[in-house]
Structure 1
Amino acid sequence: MFSFAISKSERNALFHRRETMATRMFLNGGVYSMADSGRLDARVEGLTIDPVDGRVLAVGPQCGPVAASDVLQLPAGAVIVPGLHDRHTHWLFALFANAVVLGGVKTLAEAAARIEAQLAEQATGWVVATGWNTGLLPAGLLTQSWLDSIVKGRKAIIFDQSFHGALISSTLAKEIVSKFPREAIGSYHDGVIHEQYVMLAMAWMELDDWTLKAALLQRQIIMGRVGFTRITDMGVMGFPLLHALQDIYRRGLMILPCDFAVQPWMLREDPLLSATSASVLHFQLRWLKEFADGAFGNRLACMCGHHRYSDGQGGKLLLDERRYVDDVLLARERGIDQFAIHCIGCAACEAASTAFGTVMQRLNGESSGCTFSFEHFETVHPKLIEHVARLQRAHVRIEVCSQPGFLSDLTDYTDRLAAHVMARINPYGDFRKEGLAWRAGTDGAITGDDPWGGMALAVNRGGEQTITVPEIMGTFIDAPLAVNGPATFLILDRDPFAHLEQLGQVQVLETWIEGRMVFHRRN
């Protein structure tokens, strides 16, 4: 049986922890508690915490006696802010830690050279490449016969930059295409797989157990480095990944709190999978995730070129509503009461809205304890924003998640999206106008794990959809700093509220979770 062990010194190097018996520690410097919704940029001086039980004792002047050795003087210009919550990310990108990177590649020769270099280093397992941008390297050029000529019988897969499509070698096709369940919504055309076929391919990837767990730990370090103190994984893909995560959380090697989602096929395949059976310390199954892109050509979803094989299916729920209701009922039986639909573009968001309404009607009032969430609420029509905001004001438990980092990709899609659609990507000004409550995420490796660049794009974009630093920070914070609340916070190298032009260059010096320093930049 495989055993994943790590020494104390290695563990401290991965996630440094301050060992102290002090019951009071005073951090002397500027603090933004973000506890006052009307003044999120209100600043005070100093934060007193209890490192033993992980609580905040005071926000502001020093509270009670503190030993000189337990006074932490912040560096010049540094400030304290609450920890961040990545409301939509994916542990699954650890699967691609050793993948060939094709981002920015414009020629077949360069793509071939990168794949051949990987073949020379990797003797076994799937050869995996990511970042294929069909706007630079059209789908008609990267063909299965071309890939076969390079990998020469090896199993290989090239994911496009959206991870909704992939090119597979004929050897891999022979192994996996016949295994796709009849109910899976996807396609296999000229060597390219789409949608749920891609997700299942991810779930079946052959990875060494040690390599996978080491990559997961590395992602934890990355998340701590950019300031995330809690994450929501919107789609733990497949049982090998789920079991790897359960094991390293159970061993105490993972300490980053995580709520996660599974897809309906996983519940159907494993009758014992439930919120109770899947959850371990800091790692809790809370969500069921489905898809409404129907991105076989849905340009609103900002997909790459080969998604133009439309069949007129853009914006449909990737299963019928009757099946979706059945999946929700099954999930509720398994202790899951939060339901997310991945939806980019007006048509997809409207499909998700209709599906949520159908579920609420079928549950006939029993949905009062459920939460429904639009994931990737992008390029949305103002009337739908108004409708969702009205539901929120009526205390219907509707959440909205958006990715400000998507603004960095606009130039990739000018050949696929109409100007009026481009103008409505991340309409945060309209969110504010309608009073829509929303949370922000990064989508992991799709736009990069660093939230600060996405925040900078949201506040510096110009025009009516621009929002302020307090507004965008408010969508990312885990919880405000408040007396008796968790001592979960970041020490930043500069003041994001005072230096708007430097927001994208913010560096996290230290990350603290419940009174423990879990990341220090010098380590």
Structure 2
Amino acid sequence: MAAAANPAAWSSERLGEPKRPVGLTVFANATIITADAGFSVAEAMAIDGDRILAVGTLEEVRAAVPDTATILDAGGRTILPGFIEPHMHFFPIAMLSRMENVGALECGSVDDVIARMGLLASQAAPGNWVMGRQFDPSLQDGPDVLTRDMLDPVTGDVPVFIFNASLHIAYCNTAALTIAGLDASTPDPDGAAFGRNADGSLNGVMQGGAAFSQVMVHNLAAMALDDVPTACKHVCDRANEVGITTFCDQATGGFQGPNELAAFKAFSESGHMTARLRYSLFDALESHWDSGDVNVSFGTGNAFARATGWKIVSDGSNQGRTGLQREPYLGREDRGLAYVAADDLKEKVTRRAKQGWQVVVHANGDQAIDNALDAFEAAFEAGAPRHMRHRIEHCSILHDEQIARIKEMNLSPSFLIGHVHYWGQAFRDEIFGPEKASLLGRAKSVQQAGIPWTMHSDEPVSEMGPLRCIENAVTRRMWKAPDHRLNGDECVTVEEAILSLTRVAAWQCHSDHEVGSLEPGKLADFVILEKDPRKVPEDEIGSIRVLETWSAGRKVFSAGVNE
């Protein structure tokens, strides 16, 4: 990974010629949704190099630019600010793509997953591990766990490791536990747990990174990237294909260590970066960040890669039943896991907020949200600045009194809207019950309270796709019960959903001065869509085609239409 900082690794010889900005160009005959303060709609826009020069009627725009401008007819199509993905995981996207996808879209049942692992184990070369990803028993038929007793009969002595889709839980067979030297005497790490049989022996289920990392450390090859520049370009290409021009890595260092910062810097300076990156340092690596060996603080970087946040993961995954709840899960006695004790969370939030960071706290369960709110309150009482747009990530199960506290403290939530779409039925019928499930992803209530909010994919938890997210927020229809909405009172308007992934997301990511709306002086980051999301049936928004994506005045993606 250290070699990724070598400029030669990012050369055009390796990655191809970088895209170049266009000259003075007017996009005419378009529906331009500017996402400005008035949500105005224009018909023309002029750009030159990486900046927007003018937006308005064609007459107004042509009057504002020289006659030498190139005029492009947009054919009546819709132009929006480039979408902003407020929460994804940069290097995990690159790494996990190499592992076998055994998620619900590929394997309908737990038995299918076991069969797939058995087949791969039978084909594995001596000494190799079999690695899987996206497993989620809340979406796949069968038991709600995957144990070593279920895997061993088909995988034998081949070590097997599978990530849950949430990345908060993992599963392995006996061969992997043996290599890691883990057994009944192994204690549970702080803020994590090993699943156990009645006799105390490990069952192969690992809850929390502090548990499953004890197995993964014995298979570092699975986490390594031989070609970091190509992997980085792949992630940008994935984003550009769905219209994303800015994304936020919310756990930097978590998978490749502090050298991720060197890769981001080299990539941003190479000319090949086609989506802007805002990133939050992963608190679990605080000893590295505090050592003095890494010189990074809020605002470190440039227009393409910049440090903005400090990410703290306070609990687990609700669908994995490790999110920390006020009351036990439906039909169970457990309330999930606190990855960070409440008093420790107060200390962490206070220290980082007083250092000038935007503090970003992952909190899924309602008790975890209580703890996060208490921590921010303690930080402000200790003199931490209130203007840093501190965030609560996922903010999944949200009560009215918590919304009031968020408003009072000027905090900002970002919702994993795929919770509603992909997992809604499971939350309603199996995990929480209808009453508590109705508190999931309360975007409309937050909107009505006057709180800025965004939504995100958390890829690789769910796939990046702003138009899919907009549809999910507008319809709240459930994947496994498409004729039903999960609490339709929380449906937002198309305009509100668009703003959450453009203007508001830019604000939340401390980038509203440069992106998030199509206004003169801002960077020329925009997307051209085949149809206007406001004018199609709500259940067709996610199917609208992205025709072109532009970053800094460069066309970085084209669907090939009219070319």
Shift of 1:177: 7.0
Please say if residues 298 and 313 of structure 1, whose CA atoms lie closer than 8 Å, have aligned partners that are also in contact.
no
Q: Is the 8 A contact 2:342 2:371 kept in 1?
A: no
Runs of 5+ in structure 1 lacking a partner?
A: 393-397
Q: Tell me if structure 2 keeps the 8 A contact 1:408–1:454.
A: no
1:429 aligns with 2:444: yes
Which one is further off, 448-457 or 160-169? 160-169
Aligned residue identity for 1:157: F
In structure 2, the CA distance between the partners of 1:47 and 1:129, relative to structure 1 (3 Å rule), is same
- What secondary structure does 2:534 align onto? coil
Whole-angstrom CA distance in 2 between matches of 1:244 and 1:86:
19
Q: Which residue matches 1:395?
A: none
| Contact kept in structure 1, 2:347 and 2:375, CA below 8 Å | no
2:275 equivalent among 256, 273, 283: 256
Aligned residue for 1:367?
Answer: 385
Q: Check the 8 A contact 1:295/1:313 in 2, yes or no.
A: no
Q: What whole-Å deviation, never above 9, does each CA across 1:245-265 have from its counterpart, x for those lacking one? A: 632650424342212223323
Tell me, in whole angstroms, the C-alpha distance in 1 between the residues paired with 2:330 and 2:282: 25
Q: 1:454 to 1:145 in 2, by over 3 A?
A: same
Give, in whole Å, the separation in 2 of the partners of 1:98 and 1:245. 22
Paired residue type of 1:344: N
Q: Are 1:452 and 2:467 matched, yes or no?
A: yes
The one-letter amino acid of 1:499's match is: V
- C-alpha distance 298-286 of structure 1, shift in aligned 2 (>3 A): same
Q: 1:126 to 1:357 in 2, by over 3 A?
A: farther
Who is 2:286 aligned against?
Answer: 267
8 Å Cα contact 2:180/2:215 also seen in 1:
no
Shift of 1:419: 0.4
2:235 alignment partner in structure 1: 219
Name the amino acid aligned to 1:323. Answer: D
Matches within 5 A, 1:1-400: 5=9, 8=12, 11=15, 17-18=19-20, 20=22, 22=23, 24-37=24-37, 39-40=38-39, 42-51=40-49, 53-61=50-58, 62=62, 63-67=64-68, 70-74=70-74, 76-91=75-90, 92-104=92-104, 105-107=107-109, 110-119=112-121, 120=123, 125-135=128-138, 136-139=140-143, 142-174=146-178, 176=180, 184-189=190-195, 190-197=203-210, 200=213, 204=217, 205-207=220-222, 208-210=224-226, 214-238=230-254, 240=256, 242-244=258-260, 246-247=262-263, 249-251=265-267, 252=270, 253-269=272-288, 271=291, 272-276=293-297, 281=302, 282-293=304-315, 299=321, 301=323, 312-314=334-336, 317-328=338-349, 331=352, 337-361=357-381, 363=382, 365-368=383-386, 370-392=388-410, 398-400=411-413
TM-aligned CA deviation for residue 296 of structure 1: 8.8
Q: Which amino acid aligns with 2:26?
A: F
- Residue aligned with 1:275, SS: coil
**Tell me, what secondary structure is at the counterpart of 1:482?**
coil
Alpha-carbon distance in structure 2 between the residues aligned to 1:93 and 1:144: 26
Distance between the aligned counterparts of 1:256 and 1:141, measured in 2? 37
Deviations 1:293-350 (A, max 9, x none): 35599859499xxx99977453x642234433443466468x6611111112322211
Structure 2 stretches lacking a partner, 5+ long: 196-202, 477-484, 507-515
Identity %: 19
Q: Is the 8 A contact 1:321 1:358 kept in 2?
A: no
In 2, Cα distance between the equivalents of 1:388 and 1:329? 17
Question: What RMSD over aligned residues (CA atoms) do the two structures have, in Å?
Answer: 3.6
Separation in 1, partners of 2:28, 2:522:
19
SS in 1 for 2:29: strand
Aligned amino acid, residue 320 of structure 1 = A
Give the whole-Å Cα distance in 2 for the aligned partners of 1:47 and 1:357.
44
Opposite residue 71 of structure 2, the aligned amino acid is V
Alignment length (residue pairs)? 503
Deviations along 1:248-291, whole A, 9 cap, x unmatched?
Answer: 65042434221222332311245133425996553333222222
Aligned-partner Cα distance in 2 for 1:248–1:370: 23
The question of whether the paired residues in 2 share the 8 Å contact of 1:337 and 1:371 is answered with no
1:476 and 1:148 mapped to 2: Cα distance? 45
Q: Residues 340 and 196 of structure 1: is their aligned pair in 2 closer, same or farther, counting only changes over 3 Å?
A: same
- The TM-score, its normalising length taken from structure 1, stands at 0.84
Alpha carbons of structure 1 residues 302 and 238: separation in structure 2 relative to 1, 3 Å: closer
Answer whether contact 2:250 2:281 (CA < 8 A) is retained.
Answer: yes
Instruction: Tell me the distance in 1 between the aligned counterparts of 2:497 and 2:206.
Output: 36
CA contact (8 A) 1:155 1:171 kept: yes
Secondary structure at 2:30 match in 1: strand
Quote the Cα distance in structure 2 between the aligned partners of 1:480 and 1:277.
23
Question: CA–CA distance in 2 between the matches of 1:279 and 1:175?
Answer: 41
Q: Deviations over 1:357-376 (max 9, x none)?
A: 12222x3x243454421101
Distance in structure 1 (CA, Å) of the matches to 2:33 and 2:465:
21
